[in-house]
């Protein structure tokens, strides 16, 4: 694969009419601008990349992408690094702490159903996987008409039991950043009460909130082992937005045992 990628780079250079010396001169300019010699591509190194399958560093690959007017992502793909595979590899690890995820910004294509079984009906509970007859790839650029910057996405860490069992560890949440003011009210059930995505000095968390006299109360679920926290608002805790969507797995068998840091905090309160 690496040798094929090198041949593609050579073909691209020759198609543009660049010599190896031209590439060196141009990359030297990039190196001077960035004050980083790693961006420089010497003719001997370029020859190794093109003919011996040597993998260029991230810096040299950047220079080649600029000089050849090529998408950096495409060059990564030539070397077997497909950024669209990031969501598929999330299962390789589960962060212990809740975080605000930006990983999807690297994804440029998504796979969507393009043909469903004619028997599919929204009124019935269905195994959706069996209803999808064909999948297709759609460049995310085609969805630009629906672009909306009001949403961000969070991941509930494996040690974050704040809203357990409503939001168990490992859940993904969609956050509407326009709804960043805590709303007070009389809720008929816990499912109606707004859940907020909050950034504190210790990190992120999802919780119910109440603002009073310059403080914000971070209220955990009544079945959660995580204690209530009272912080200065907004100096110690900032409301990013309201959770408006969630994706989670059921039946993970999470043990009701908070992280050590949460235990210590609970012991002090």
2-78 and 151-249 have identical folds = no
pLDDT of 67 > 50? The answer is yes
CA distance 243 to 163: 12
How is 218-239 classified by DSSP, letter by letter?
EEPPTT-SSPPEEEETTTTEEE
Predicted local distance difference test score (pLDDT) of residue 257: 56
Q: Where does the pLDDT of residue 178 fall: very low under 50, low under 70, confident under 90, or very high at 90 and above? A: very high
pLDDT tens-digit series, residues 103-138: 666 666 656 565 667 775 545 545 555 566 666 655
Using CA atoms, how far apart are residues 220 and 161, in angstroms rounded to an integer?
A: 8
Nearest to 100 by CA among 245, 198, 230: 198
Spell out the residues 6+ positions from residue 142 whose beta carbon is closer than 8 angstroms to its own. none
Residue closest to 227 by CA, chosen among 158, 162, 138: 162
CB 258 within 8 A of CB 269: no
CATH of 2-78, one of 1.10.260.40, 3.20.20.70, 3.40.50.1950, 2.60.120.10: 1.10.260.40
Question: Could you tell me the residue ranges of all domains in the chain?
Answer: 2-78, 86-95+102-146, 151-249
Name the pLDDT band for 248 (thresholds 50, 70, 90).
Answer: confident
- Regarding predicted confidence, which is higher, 38 or 124? 38
Q: How confident is the model at residue 172 (pLDDT cuts 50, 70, 90)?
A: confident
Alpha carbon distance 229, 269 (integer Å) = 9
pLDDT for position 20: 96
Cβ neighbours of 64 (radius 10 Å): 23
Can you give the pLDDT at residue 263? 47
| Rounded to 5°, angle at Cα 167 from 165 and 170 | 110
**151-249 CATH:** 2.10.109.10
Cis before 200 (ω within 30): no
Return phi, psi of residue 43, to 5°. -55, -40
Closest C-alpha to 258, from 167, 164, 171: 164
Helix, coil or strand: residue 139: strand
Q: Measure the CA–CA gap between 76 and 57, rounded to whole angstroms.
A: 11
- Give the span between the Cα atoms of 77 and 190, in whole angstroms: 46
Measured CA to CA, the distance from residue 59 to residue 65 in angstroms comes to: 10
């Amino acid at each position: 694969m690496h040798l094929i990628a090198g041949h593609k780079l050579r073909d691209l250079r020759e198609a543009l009419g660049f010599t190896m010396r031209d590439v060196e001169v141009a990359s030297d300019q990039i190196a001077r601008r960035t004050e980083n010699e790693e961006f420089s591509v010497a003719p001997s190194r370029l020859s190794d990349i093109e003919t011996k399958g040597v993998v260029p560093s991230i810096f040299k690959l950047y220079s080649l992408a600029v000089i050849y007017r090529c998408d950096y992502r495409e060059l990564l793909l030539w070397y077997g690094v497909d950024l669209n595979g990031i969501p598929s590899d999330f299962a390789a690890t589960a962060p212990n702490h809740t975080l605000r995820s930006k990983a999807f910004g690297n994804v440029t294509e998504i796979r969507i159903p393009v043909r469903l079984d004619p028997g599919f009906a929204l009124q019935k509970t269905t195994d959706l996987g069996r209803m999808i007859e064909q999948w297709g790839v759609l460049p995310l650029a085609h969805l630009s008409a629906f672009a909306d910057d009001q949403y961000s996405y969070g991941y509930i860490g494996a040690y974050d039991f704040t809203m357990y069992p409503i939001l168990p560890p490992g859940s993904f949440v969609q956050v509407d950043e326009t709804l960043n003011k805590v709303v007070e009210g009389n809720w008929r059930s816990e499912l109606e009460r707004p859940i907020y995505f909050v950034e504190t000095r210790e990190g992120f968390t999802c919780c119910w909130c109440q603002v009073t006299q310059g403080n914000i109360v971070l209220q955990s679920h009544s079945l959660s082992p995580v204690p209530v926290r009272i912080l200065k608002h907004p100096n110690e805790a900032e409301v990013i937005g309201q959770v408006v969507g969630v994706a989670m797995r059921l039946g993970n068998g999470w043990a009701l045992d908070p992280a050590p840091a949460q235990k210590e905090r609970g012991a002090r309160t």
